Amino acid sequence: MRRIKLVVAYDGTNYQGWQIQNNGETIESTLNRALLELTGEEIHVHGASRTDSGVHAMGNLAVFDTEARMAADKFSYALNQRLPEDIRIQHSCEVPPDYHPRYQKTVKTYEYRILNREFPLPAYRLNTYFVYYPLDEERMRQAAAYLVGEHDFRSFCAAGAQVKTTVRTIYELSVERQGELLTIRVRGGGFLYNMVRIIAGTLIRVGSGDWEPERVKTILEARDRKLAGPTAPAKGLTLMSIVDEAEQENLSADRPLIMR
């Protein structure tokens, strides 16, 4: 029995999120089915991040155990032949039998993308959130600076989420504009439920001029979800990468990711 790790990219538009649900297709159920077809085994993948319905990924992680004798790096090709076009394995390799991506110390990078112009563009409809009123990215950057570091992010956690602690650490929170495309990029060790989307919804309020950047400091300190902005729509969010803390130093933090 070997444990195989997969790097998984998907367009979440047509899925009810990662995790198996009673109704509707999920990334997890689709991967399990492709693995059954490939190996003949009833395999259940374990994902690093259970992304919500409509959220996309360039690099989610999953592991599974198999008796199949195929070379570990060949699973990517063999699975891609059996997966729908909106899910593509980017890498496969063998990992130690006790490796589980959810219990590793990892650094996750998310991007929240906003199309900021007068009219929507069809080519961007699936993976950006469309905002027609002008957003000032400099104000958004000022607001973002209050959130970097270790904080109690209770104000930025979906109400009712059950977690031991709402303290998290954000290593980087940048706001970049390329023409009409705004990208909020956030890197951290772990995130609360809906945290990135609530941060995005809050920064949009600041960018529009509704709120002053300093208000984000007040929101953070209040530890009250009701004070933060709305949860921005799932379609704008992409899980870019999950990297083991130990591996991180070997990687360029800003390796060229083309999805911009």
Residues that bind a copy of itself (CB under 8 A): 9-11, 56, 58, 76, 80, 85-91, 119-127, 178-181, 238, 256-259
CB of 48 to a copy of itself, least distance (A): 18
CB nearer to a copy of itself: pick between 195 and 240: 240
Q: At what angle do helices 215-222 and 137-145 cross, to 10 degrees?
A: 40
Write out the DSSP string of 162-183.
Answer: --S--EEEEEEEEEEEETTEEE
Angle value at C-alpha 233, between 228 and 237, nearest 5 degrees: 100
51 with 68: CB under 8 angstroms?
A: no
CB nearer to a copy of itself: pick between 102 and 125: 125
CB of 67 to a copy of itself, least distance (A): 25
Q: At what angle do helices 137-145 and 195-207 cross, to 10 degrees?
A: 130
CB of 7 to a copy of itself, least distance (A): 9
Q: Which residues, including other chains, have CB under 8 Å from residue 143's CB and lie 6 or more apart?
A: 202, 203, 206, 211, 213, 214, 215, 216
CB nearer to a copy of itself: pick between 49 and 127: 127
Tokens coding 65: 């155990």
Say how many residues make up the chain. 260
CB of 26 to a copy of itself, least distance (A): 15
73 catalytic? Reply is: no
Which one is catalytic: 11, 52, 73, 136?
52
DSSP 3-state of 32: helix
CB nearer to a copy of itself: pick between 50 and 217: 50
Q: Could you list the active site residues?
A: 52
